[in-house]
Each structure stands twice: as structure tokens, then as C-alpha cells.
A and B are shown apart, each in its own frame.
Chain A
């Protein structure tokens, strides 16, 4: 097990290197950071001098080499925009994004799994049709529209919820959390729903399809014949087998939720990594963009690793193989 995890973490280094390499080959098409960093009155020579100092005239391979060697030395560089250390900037934004992602994931699981099971067991009812139709609508509306609709409904018209930002946070030694106060939750809930809607639909439909598949399989028939009570049959025997592919997909999707929370964070001015990335793209803040992409690549690897470990825990067959 430890060997397996170490191997995966080692592989992640190559993934991050590949992402950084691709990123740096694209950065020169993003725009010119110097014209963003200087005022209109700064002369052309001074701009050129700054460009030279920042090493922007070097070929991208050289810039990539410098970026990676600096990171290996633990030097993440400084933002072109704010001149702050990049690692501090990203670290201060990580809790907001992770908490938003986790809450969105929880919403999608807590609602999605029961709804999926229900619609699988009662394939024809009115409630099932309604649920299927609503989720279809939910998945076809773009995230930012859902966000704006929620903001105007609950924030402006009803006035129940704050419309932007992240408030009511408690600092737990470097990790600011929204989970501990009601005010924190009031800021968190709308963006989390917005981010979670797509996941929710996916989870529900996946659980439903898998559950219907499992319910048709032989062992469920035998179990039914043996007289195992319905409840135990559905939730222990059927659902357990349903969850294996569901966990894979949900896990992989969670990486995506973290990486692509950009839209939701922008609509709600949620101070996470996605918003920081968006600001950095607008400003051509290359150091921040570079580190962000590498961090996201690392998240993807990490999430995949967790999914694999969960696999081992859920599927006894894999455990046996490992033991041999």
C-alpha cells in the first residue's frame, strides 16, 4: 500500500512537469505583462528594460527551466501584479476553494444518491419523472446563469443571503473556514449549490443507471428468492455494488470541480484560487498562473490517488489481489 502511494506521488511529479511545460509554451500568447505592469507614461525603453529584467525575452524553454528549478529550490516567485510571494497568495486562497468544492460535492452526494436510488427503484412514478426533468434542466443551464439566478432570487429579491464574497470565517491556524459559523454558511451555500448542480445531476443519473443494472443481475434475483428483506437488499447488496463506478466518476469529477470552480468563484466573487487565476490571466501574471496550474495538476493526481485507495476499501476482490 505504501509503495503504491509513493509510486503514485512520484508519477505526479511528471504530470506537474508536463503541465508546467505546456503552460509555459502557451504563456507568450496570453499577452504582454509589462504593458499591464506599467503606467501609460512609462517610456518604451523602461518597459523594454523591465521585460529584460523579468526574463520575458528569453525563449520559453529557458523560462520553463528557470521556473521549475526555482520551484524545486522552494522559490515560487513573486506575482507581477501585487509583488507578493506566489506561494502565500495561493495558500491563502486554497481553503476557500477546497471548502467550496467539498460542500458542492456533499450537496451532490446527499441529494444525488438518494434521488438516484429512488428513481431507479420506482422507474415510472410522477415524482421520478419530475426529478429527471428538473435535473435535465439543471444540467443544461450554464453555471454562471444558475449563479446569477440564485443571486437575484435569494440575494436581491428575497434578501435572505449575501450576494458576494466570503464572510464569517474563522481562522484555524492558517486555514480559514466557513464551516463554523452560520454567517459563514450563508455565504457558502449559494456558490456551493451553483457549483454542485452539475455534479448532482451526474451523480443521480449515474446511481440510477447503475442501480437499475444491478437490480437486474442474478445475485439480486437469488437474494430476492432467499427472502432477504427489501431494505437490506436495496441498500446493502445493490447499492454497495452500484457505488464502485460511481466513486470513480465522482472522484474524477471532484478534481474538475476544484479546477473549474473559476466560473462560480467569479460570479460570487468567492475569494478562492479560481478567482485569483482569473485576475492573473487578466493581468498576464505569469508566475501566479504557472504555480496555479501546477497546483491544480497536483490536485488531480491526489484525487485520483484517493479514488484508487477508496476502490481498495470498497471492492474486496482488489484487496485480495494486493495481499497475494
Chain B
């Protein structure tokens, strides 16, 4: 520290330069923990990539501030008559950043590219059997069965220019080596990629020929990934960045107290839950019950749910920022079951009774697995839960690890109970039913995140019906039935909806969308 005296002269001059560059107000600088790993919108189905590229590329439809679907490159869409599928009527006069005109051929090409084996987003198109170009501005997506939610499910399906991709040898997403589309972008969106230095800095500039109405006043957007949260906070408080997503919960108070900064809080659509080993014959980590799996008894699962004091968790760990959850999507998401909105309350006495009824009056021990770098306060949450379980006689032996180890462990059935967070990709209840509640079925690609393999014949029967039902009331009745079954059976213990915490300078106005996407086109800097 004393060495700094020697270089003071250098420091002072350096400051002047830094100060000068920060003065330009309409240059908007923001940071996030993860760098989008590619600029190719079909290569990786991950939130950092799709969120960032939504500034540059556009889909047929998009989500508005409140997550509802609205027209983007398609002006309107309607179900096909006489066959299953949807017709999209495309917007005319739209051009890509390089000046090429947008037509139905680009949609067909992008469909072929995104549904190819090399594309990680191809699961969006599993219901699609064919795509037909009707004319330059009309395109039909044919599906194998009626699919009322298809337009919602492709809000992040982004359109590339056919000629651009083919000329630059990027007709398919890069799988092993990079290609032109990994580092370059040519979309129809409100911003254009100006420069890209992976892991260091990515710069966007407004697209002067964008078809939409400009609401932002950003002349240049500079994105920097900052992995270390203390560094990110310092960068915000020193004024070098205008906005950061997310900030750690424990820093929110510090930012709020400062003049000139504000914290944006909301509810993400991600529900945090505990999962059970429904299919295991025995517990893996128990010291006292080695020949049975107590969690196969629904009373034990209910006891576990009764043991959790969600209000204490909210108060102590989350400073009152979480919303307790009764089911696997939060209220407001389509398919949310109003009639099943009660969750099993905190009731340790009832939990002990249930354990006794199930034949475990003295409780038992088991292993609880948790990630420590995936969800907000995940490790602390599991510590709190473990002591709550212990209070009713269920001794949880907690083991935590980074998420890169965690998923493989769950896939290998190496758990007695586990923590999972789920954000419905389609923003509809059908999504968690498909991935978390349907019996594991590799052939049909269902239940792929149902690690404990919860299995209920009625749920399996209802899922395809829900997927195809066009009548919203009938559909909701079926979803209500699934939610009721999973609550009765205690398939999971839904805990709470994860909060979203962003921080920005006071002079910045922006929209915090529930999917944690940040869009530059809603930013105004005063």
C-alpha cells in the first residue's frame, strides 16, 4: 500500500483521462456476471446468450415488458385451417443490419438452421413437421398435433439472413470450431454489433434502419462481464458502469443507501424447490435407515414440507424479498393453478406426527445435495433447511458443490434429496410438467429433469392432452388436476420464487423483465 505514494503523479493524470471518458451520458455501460459465450442465436440455448442477442436479432414474435407475446417480425399469426399448425404474416419493409431485405425465405432458412442437429435450440421445433413458404411475406409452420402455445414457445427463435449466413459459411451453427456467426451478427434488431472481444467487452450501436419505434436514447451500449461481485459493485459505485445485473442480496442495502443509485427488485419466474428420490429403493446417505426409502411414503414427504419455515427463510436469508410458492410456476404465469394456491404450512408438530405414523417416530438421517453457485443464497438456504429438518427428527447430511459437478451427480441418482430451481422456458405451466413431472422417458424426451423420477399415470396421460388443448378453460382444468395430484403426492416441495435484484444509477430508466432478460431498447439515460 505504501508503494502508491511513488506513483501518485501517474495516478492523478490517469484520473483525468478516466473522468473525461465517463462524461458522455448517452453511452450506456453495463455489466453482468456471465459473458454471452457466442453471438450465434442458434448455437446455445442459454439465458445470457439469448438475453444479449435479443438486442441484435429478432424473432417472429417477442415478449413485451410484461412477458406477453406481441408481434415482431410477424405482424400477425393465426392457426391454420384444415391442418395443425400456424400461419405467420410477416412484416414488410424490414431489412437486416447489412441492408438485405427480410423475407419468408429467411424464416425458412432460420428454421432449418435452428432445427438442425448442430443447433442446441432444436427442441423448440420438436412439434414441427414442416415449414412452408406461401409467399414472400407468409410462412406456415405445420405441427404434428394442435399446438396452441407454439407462438409463445418460439419467442427466442431468432431470424438470420439466408444470404449473409451462406456467404460467410455460417449456414449451420458451429459445433466444434467457430464460424463467422460466432463472432459476428447481422440481425434485424434495434442494435447492431459494433465490436466483440469475448470475455472482455462487447459494443452495440443503434441500428438506424430498425423498423420499430425507438424508445431509447442510447448512442452506444458497452457490455463488460464482471465475474467477481465485489468488483462489479465497485464498478457501479465508482460510476464506471451505469447498470449491473444481478447484485448479491447482501449488497442491495448498501446500494440503496447511496445517493444517485437505485435497486430494481422483482420476482423472477424461477421457482426453487426440493426434490425427492421417488424411485430409489434405499437411502444412499442414511446412517440408520439402510434397507428402505422413507421418502416413498407420502407422509414422510409431507412431513418434510411441514418442517420448512418459509417465513423465517424469507426474513433471515432474503430480507423479505421472496414470494413463497405453492406450485412450480409463480402466480401470473399462464397455467398457474389458482385453486391450488395453498402451500403446506410450517407445522413441526404435524411433521413429527406424520413421521410417527409412517413408522419413523425417532426420525431418520439422509443426505441433502445442493449447488453452491447456481441460485441466490443456495448454500445458506440448504443449511437453514437442514436445521429445520433436524428439528422434526430428519437429520440432513448436507453436501454442496459447484453446479458443474452438481448436475452430473443428480443425473447419476446420487442423492436422497436435492435442490432445484426451475424457470419455465415457455412461461407456461406445461413446461415444468413436461420436464419435472412426467415420468422419465428418454425416447419421447420427456421428464429429462425429473431426477427423482416422480411418476403418476394420470399426469403422464394429461400432458399430451394439455399440449394439444385449444380451449383454454378445458386446458386449465387439466392443469389444475395435475397440480392437485402433485400437491397430494408431494412430488416436490415448492419453496419460493427467486427474487431478481438489479442495480443502476438513478438517471437510468429501464425495464426489469421477469425472465431476467435485459433489453437495451427500453433504456433511457437522463
Which positions in A face B, CB cutoff 8 Å? 30-33, 35-45, 53, 78, 81-85, 89, 107, 110-111, 134, 138, 146, 148-152, 154-156, 159-166, 168, 182-183, 185-187, 189, 193, 196-197, 200, 266-269, 271, 275-276, 278-279, 282-284
Contact: B199 with A185, CB < 8 Å? no
Give residues of chain B (195-252) contacting chain A, Cβ–Cβ below 8 Å.
197-201, 224-228, 230-231, 234-235, 237-240
Q: Which residues of A contact B445 (CB under 8 A)?
A: 43-45
Interface class of chain A by DSSP = helix
Contact: A82 with B178, CB < 8 Å? yes
Which positions in B face A, CB cutoff 8 Å? 1-4, 6-7, 10-15, 17-19, 35, 37-38, 43-46, 120-121, 123-124, 174-179, 182-183, 197-201, 224-228, 230-231, 234-235, 237-240, 402, 404-405, 407-408, 411, 425, 435, 442, 445, 448-449
Q: List 16 A-B contacts (CB under 8 A).
A: A31-B405, A33-B404, A42-B45, A78-B176, A82-B178, A84-B178, A85-B177, A159-B19, A161-B15, A185-B10, A186-B17, A193-B3, A269-B224, A269-B231, A279-B35, A283-B404
Contact: B237 with A161, CB < 8 Å? no
Given A40-B449, A156-B238, A161-B11, 17 extra CB contacts under 8 A: A38-B45, A41-B124, A43-B123, A44-B411, A82-B178, A84-B183, A149-B1, A150-B1, A160-B15, A164-B231, A183-B17, A189-B11, A189-B14, A268-B231, A269-B224, A271-B197, A279-B35
Q: Which residue of B lies closest to A168 (CB)?
A: B17
Contact: B14 with A182, CB < 8 Å? yes
Contact: B230 with A39, CB < 8 Å? no
Nearest 3 interchain pairs by C-beta = A186-B14, A39-B45, A31-B404
Alpha-carbon separation in the docked complex, A82 to B176 (Å): 10
Q: How far is the CB of B521 from chain A (nearest CB, A)?
A: 24
Contact: A161 with B120, CB < 8 Å? no
Partner of A32, one of B182, B197, B407: B407
Q: Which residues of B contact A30 (CB under 8 A)?
A: 404-405
Given contacts A43-B445, A82-B37, A83-B176, contact A162 B404 (CB under 8 A): no
Q: How far is the CB of A185 from chain B (nearest CB, A)?
A: 5
Contact: A44 with B43, CB < 8 Å? no
Q: Which residues of B contact A111 (CB under 8 A)?
A: 2-3, 6
Residue from the set B11, B18, B177, B411 with the largest chain A CB neighbour count within 10 Å: B18
Contact: A35 with B404, CB < 8 Å? yes
Given contacts A43-B448, A156-B237, contact A151 B405 (CB under 8 A): no
Contact: B408 with A35, CB < 8 Å? yes
Q: Which residues of A contact B174 (CB under 8 A)?
A: 83
Contact: B240 with A164, CB < 8 Å? yes
Alpha-carbon separation in the docked complex, A107 to B411 (Å): 50
Given contacts A31-B402, A39-B121, contact A271 B177 (CB under 8 A): no
